[in-house]
Structure 1
Amino acid sequence: MSAVEGPLRGYHHETYVCPLPGGTGKGEPARWKCREPRPGLLWFDRRCFASEEQLLRALDGRIDGIPDLIQVGPTDLQRFIEGKTLGALHASGSEVPPHLTGQIVSLFGQLARVRSGSLTVDRTCTSADRSSEGDTDGFLERLILFTQKRVYQRNMPEFEGLFRALRLYDISFEHLRKHASGLTDRPFRLLHADLHRENFVVDGEERLWTIDWELAMFGDPLYDLATHLYLMRYPADQEGLMAEQWSEAVESAAPGGSAGWETDLPKLLAYKRAQSVFTDVIRTALSLRQERTVDEGLLAQAGDRLQKVLGAGAEPLGMSEVPTVERVTAALGEWYEKRAEPVA
C-alpha cells in the first residue's frame, strides 16, 4: 500500500499527504502536505499574498495553531494536522462548544495584533490596489469591485443568459454599494478571510488549528468576523455571543478595531450574502456540467438551493422580486442544455 494519501478534497488545491521521518525536528515522524493549484480554477476572492507558506513562516510565533513548515529541496511542505475538522465534529448550523469558540476568539485577538506592514511577505496586490489605512469604505469597495469585475463580468461570456434569467445585472452592484456604504473607520489588521468549519482542525487534545491561509489579507477586522459568521452558520444566540466576544478581543488587541461594529456588521453580512449569489450561480451551474447525467430531480435540488441564496441576497442587490424555484430550475436547465459537455 502506498504511503502517499491523496488527492484530498479541497477547492483551491490538489493535496497529497506523505510521511517523513523526523520531520518535526524532535525525531518524531509526521505527515506533510504537498499541494498544487487546481488547473483552470476560478477564484472568487481576492488574493493578497504571493505565497501561503511564506506567510505561515512570517506568522510563526505570532499566531497559535498554524501548520509547521519544512523545506524539501525547492518545495515547502506544510505539516498535516492530525485530527478532525470542526465541521466533521459539529455540523454547519449546530452550536460549537465553548472550549473551541474560546480558541477562535483568541485567534481573532492574535490576528488583530498583526499590523499591515509588520510582515516581510511578498504581496500580489500593488500599492495602488490597497485601501488607505483605516479606510473601511475603500476596503469594501475593492471587494465589491473584485466581485463585479472578476466574478461577474469576467464570466459573462459563459453565464450571461443565466445571469439575466436570474435578474442579475451590473446595476445590482450599484444597489450593493449604496446598501453597504458608510462604514466606520477601523485600523487595518491581518485577516484570515476564510474562517469556516472545514478550515479548523481539532486534534486529539482538543486544540484548534487553523489551516488554508491563501485568502489572507490586511484590512477591516470586522470583515473577518462577518465572513466567519456567514460561513459558520452559528445558531442565533451563539452568533450574537461570538460577535460580542470578538469585539472584546479585537478592541483589547487593537484599540478602535471594533468601532461601530454593531452598525456595520449587518452591512458586511449583506455583502457576503450578495457575493454568494454570484459565486453560487457559477458553482451550481458548473457542478451540473460535471455530472454524467442530470435528471429533473437533480435540477430541482440545485434550483431550490440556488433560489434560497438569491432570496438571501435580494435586498442588498436591489431585487424587487426573487425568481421562483421553478424559474431558477428552468434557467439552470436551459444553461445546462446549451453548455453541457459529455464527461469522459
Structure 2
Amino acid sequence: MTWLELYGRALAADEAAAGYYNRNVGLPSPDGKVNVRIPLAAADVMDVRLWREEEVLARIRPYVGRVPELRHVSEDPRFQVHHFIEGRVLDSFSPRGTSVPDNVVSDVVTLMDQLVRIPQEKAPEVPEHWPASGDSSGFGRLLASLTRDVHATYGEEYREAFAELGIPADPLAVVEPRWDSLTSRPFAVLHADLHRKNMIVADGATWFLDWELALWGDPMYEIGIHFHKMDYPEEQRAAVFERWRALLPARYTAGPVYDLDLYVAHERIKSAIVDTIRYSKQLATATRPQQEFLIGRLAKKLNAARELWGLPRDLTAARVAGILAPWREA
C-alpha cells in the first residue's frame, strides 16, 4: 500500500477525530497502525501559526521522547502520517475542571523543561519579524495583535451578538497597557496548546499530540495558556506552578505571578471572541445535547472574560442561547 492510497482511505473513512485545523484517521498499515493527519482546508485561522508541524516534530524528536513519530509527509495533497499512539485521551477520564493524576502533572512539567533546553539553532527557523529572545513584551503584543485582527475581521458580522454578550468594541484595552511590564525571559520552543484532548495516557506515561501551534516565545506564556485550557482546580494549579518553577532553569521562570496573570487574561479575552465565532458555526449542525454543551461552555468562557471587562459574571446559558439563536437555528 502506498502513502497516497492510505490517504485515500483516510479521506473515505467515516470515523475520524477532528480538531480545528486537522482531521485525524487511525488506519492499519504494513508498518503497524498509523494516524493520517489531513489539514481542514476551510478552517479559520484564529491562532498564531509559526512553523509547520512536521518540521517541529522532526526538530524536537532528539529532545522530547513522547511525541508522535513522523512516518511520512506529503506536499500535494497535503497530509502527514504519524505512528498511532494507543492509550486513553486524558479528557476521557479527567475532564476539564477536575484534578489530573499526579503522573500526568509530572509529565507535563517535564515536557516544558525539555522544551526550554532545546537550543535555538536546533529549533525551526524564526522569521525576521519575530520578537527577539527576551522581548517578552513584544511577544505579548504579537499574540494580542492576532486577537485584535480576529475581532476586527468578524466585527461586522457579529456586531450585535458581541454587544449583547458584553464583548466591548475594544476588548483588549484592559490588557494593552500591561505588556510593557512583562519581565524579560529567554525564549524557548513552546507547544502552546497543552490541553486534555492533546494528551494520551498509556501505561502510566503521557504522550503529547498536535504540535501545529508550536511557537518560539516566552515560557511564561506556555504555563499561562496551559492553565487557561486545563482549568485545573485551584489547589492543583498552584502545585503545578510550583513544580514548574522548581524544575525549569530560573531564567525561564523569572518574574512575578503578575506576568502569568496577564497571559491568562489575554487568553480569556481571546477565548471569548474566538469561541463565540467557532461555536456559533458549530451550532447549526450540532445535535441538541451538543448545542447545550457548547452553549454552556461558551457561557463560562464569556463570564470569565466579562470579569476582566468589569461586568458581572451573570451571563446564563439560556441568555447565550437566545443571542446565538440565528446560528443555532440555521
TM-score w.r.t. length of structure 1: 0.83
C-alpha change, 1:311 and 1:76, in structure 2 (3 Å) is closer
SS across alignment from 2:252 = coil
Contact (CA 8 Å) 1:65, 1:210: kept in 2 or not? yes
Partner of residue 244, structure 2? 246
For 2:327, which of 333, 336, 342 is the aligned residue?
336
Contact (CA 8 Å) 2:22, 2:40: kept in 1 or not? yes
Identity of aligned residues (%): 28
Q: Which moved more, 1:65-74 or 1:97-106?
A: 65-74
Contact (CA 8 Å) 1:180, 1:270: kept in 2 or not? no
- Counterpart AA for 1:48: L
In structure 2, distance between residues paired with 1:301 and 1:78: 31
C-alpha change, 1:271 and 1:32, in structure 2 (3 Å) is same
Partner of residue 131, structure 1? 131
1:181 Cα deviation from its structure 2 partner: 4.8
Partner of residue 147, structure 2? 147
Partner of residue 26, structure 1? none
1:302 Cα deviation from its structure 2 partner: 5.5
Partner of residue 36, structure 1? 38
- Is 1:188 paired with 2:171? no
In structure 2, distance between residues paired with 1:221 and 1:234: 19
TM-score w.r.t. length of structure 2: 0.86
For 2:299, which of 307, 311, 314 is the aligned residue?
307
Map residues 276-295 of structure 1 onto 2, 5 A cutoff. 276-291=271-286
Partner of residue 85, structure 1? 89
For 1:231, which of 226, 229, 232 is the aligned residue?
229
In structure 2, distance between residues paired with 1:305 and 1:55: 31
C-alpha change, 1:158 and 1:289, in structure 2 (3 Å) is farther
Partner of residue 163, structure 2? 164
1:193 Cα deviation from its structure 2 partner: 0.2
Residue by residue over 1:13-39, the C-alpha shift from the partner in whole angstroms, topping out at 9 and shown as x without a partner, is: 112222223x3xxxxxx2111121113
1:84 Cα deviation from its structure 2 partner: 0.8
C-alpha change, 1:182 and 1:117, in structure 2 (3 Å) is same
Q: Which moved more, 1:223-232 or 1:2-11?
A: 2-11
Contact (CA 8 Å) 1:115, 1:188: kept in 2 or not? no
C-alpha change, 1:336 and 1:142, in structure 2 (3 Å) is same
In structure 1, distance between residues paired with 2:74 and 2:133: 38
Residue by residue over 1:33-82, the C-alpha shift from the partner in whole angstroms, topping out at 9 and shown as x without a partner, is: 11211131112210100x21121111121112011122377664111101
SS across alignment from 1:81 = coil
Partner of residue 270, structure 1? 265
1:222 Cα deviation from its structure 2 partner: 0.8
Name structure 1 gaps, 5 residues minimum: 24-29
In the comparison of the two structures, how many residue pairs are matched? Answer: 316
Residue by residue over 1:238-284, the C-alpha shift from the partner in whole angstroms, topping out at 9 and shown as x without a partner, is: 11010011112222xxx411001423111211111111110121122
Residue by residue over 1:126-184, the C-alpha shift from the partner in whole angstroms, topping out at 9 and shown as x without a partner, is: 412x11211111111111110110x2111224222212322323422222213555111
Residue by residue over 1:316-343, the C-alpha shift from the partner in whole angstroms, topping out at 9 and shown as x without a partner, is: 3x3445674365343212x438xx64xx
- Counterpart AA for 2:299: Q
In structure 2, distance between residues paired with 1:80 and 1:157: 42
Q: Which moved more, 1:261-270 or 1:174-183?
A: 174-183
SS across alignment from 1:314 = helix
Partner of residue 16, structure 1? 25
Partner of residue 217, structure 1? 215
- Counterpart AA for 2:214: A
In structure 2, distance between residues paired with 1:145 and 1:194: 18
Contact (CA 8 Å) 2:228, 2:267: kept in 1 or not? yes
In structure 2, distance between residues paired with 1:222 and 1:142: 15
- Counterpart AA for 2:137: D
In structure 2, distance between residues paired with 1:291 and 1:194: 24
In structure 2, distance between residues paired with 1:83 and 1:103: 15
CA RMSD, aligned part only? 2.6
Contact (CA 8 Å) 1:108, 1:249: kept in 2 or not? no
1:8 Cα deviation from its structure 2 partner: 2.3
- Counterpart AA for 2:140: L
In structure 1, distance between residues paired with 2:74 and 2:156: 42
For 2:99, which of 95, 112, 134 is the aligned residue?
95
Contact (CA 8 Å) 2:271, 2:301: kept in 1 or not? yes
SS across alignment from 1:175 = coil
SS across alignment from 2:68 = coil
C-alpha change, 1:20 and 1:48, in structure 2 (3 Å) is same
